[in-house]
Structures are given as C-alpha cells and as structure tokens.
Amino acid sequence: MSDAAKSIIITGAGSGVGKATAQAFLDAGWRVGFVGRRAEALEEAAAGHANALILACDVRDEASVAAAFGKAQSEWGHLDALFNNAGIALKGAPIDELSVDDWRELIDINLTGAFIAARAAFGIMRRQDPQGGRIINNGSVSAHVPRWGSAAYTASKHAITGLTRTISLDGRAFNIACGQIDIGNALTDMAQSMTTGMPQADGSIKVEAVMDVKHVASSVLHMASLPLNANVQFMTVMATTMPYIGRG
C-alpha cells in the first residue's frame, strides 16, 4: 500500500496538536479521519479537503466511537494508524483543592477515552486484511515528571505510558505497533499561558519557552510513516529550554 493510500484517525482533531497533525497528514497525502465532539470545529480544521473524513463523536462513548471508526473502515477499507490525541487539562491546584468530579472528567477523557479509541482501532487492525497497523498515544512530559498542582493530568499521562507498553506487547501477535509521543510546551491555544507565566515548583511564576506545534505534527508523521517492522516506542519533543530536564 503506497503512502498516498494510507489512512489515519486522529482524535481531538478540531484544535491544537490534533488539528496541526491532521493537516500535516493531509499535506503528506494520507486519508485522515477527524474525530472530536464539535463537528463545526472538525469541518473548519479539515477545510473541505478531499481526503478528510469528519467523524464527530465523544471518545468517552464507546458506541459512538465504534460507529465513527466503523464508518472510517467502511469508507477506506483499511485503517493504518490511530493518533490517540484527545485530552484536557485542569487549572493547577493542590490535590485537596481538586474536586472529585473534575478528576473523574479528566480521567474519563484522557485515559478512558484513549482506551476506548485504542480498543476500537486495535480490533479493526487485528481483523483487517492485511492485518496490522499502528497506534500512537499522546503522552506528555508529564508522563515523566509533574508540574505543580497537576495530580489528575499527571496521573492520566503516567497511565497512558502503561497503556502504550501493554498495547505494544499485546499487538505483536497481530502486527500492531504502538508508540508514544511525549510533548513539551507546543504552542497551541491551550498553551498560551506559558508565554505569560506559569507556576513553578518553587512558587514563582515564570514565562516558559515554547515551540511551534508543527514540530509535533512532523514528529507524529515520522512515527506513523515507518514500516511496521520498525517502531518509535517513545519520543520526547519539546521546547529546548523549557523546565523539563531538572524540573522542580
């Protein structure tokens, strides 16, 4: 199958990292399924591209995910990749100021949503002919070290690493590769506050270095373009001088 015929589903494709990555894949000749809750945002991100498929659904709802992924499979006949990207963050706060409802919502989207999407993609890839495919999970540098006041987000991203490792192992029998991209300070709407000041571990507020989100998109495209007998298991792409190495 040529690169021009390859297909990928990207969750959270209506904005930020997901939107930039989806557009990069379209530019590279891939067929791209745009997954997100807001059809209008997906339509805007896809910009009428002939190879874009709008798949509006909520990753927390397994029935709607199954329907969306089934639509992509019917449209394309084969699913080559999933970029499991959908996620949210919360305002920083000590754990005793984090509401249980906010914790549950974040875990439901960031972790359970990733599981549901990966489960759907894995099932398609396992049963299609030719068998196989690739799942790329969006971790974070928070999968390694936390920011101040980020109990829910950091826990979700540590869990994504466990999910990545398990899918990578379970996928071997079915020619399904799984890797993870850990992103640090990509400049999206969600990351604008980094340019004005972020709470640091010592209690100070400091502006942090950021990078263009296109570097994330090109990194995911590289991971997805490898043959299935090669895999980037983990990649960290980050603003060079952000507080990550030695964070805290």
Query: Catalytic residue numbers?
Result: 153
Rounded to 5 degrees, what angle do the CA atoms 83, 189, 54 make?
40
Cα 135 to chain centroid distance, Å, stands at 10
- Picking from 140, 124, 146, the residue whose alpha carbon sits closest to that of residue 67 is 124
End-to-end Cα spacing for the chain: 47
CA distance 36 to 161: 22
Tokens of 128: 């299609």
Q: Which of 167, 154, 183 is nearest to 20 (CA)?
A: 183
Tokens 């979700």 locate to 156
Nearest-angstrom CA–CA distance, 37 and 14: 8
And the tokens for 207?
């502006």
Q: 122: which 2 tokens? A: 């894995």
Contact criterion met (CB below 8 Å) for 151 and 168: no
- Kindly list the distances between the CA atom of residue 147 and the CA atoms of 89, 96, 114, 194, in Å, as whole numbers in the listed order: 12, 16, 22, 12
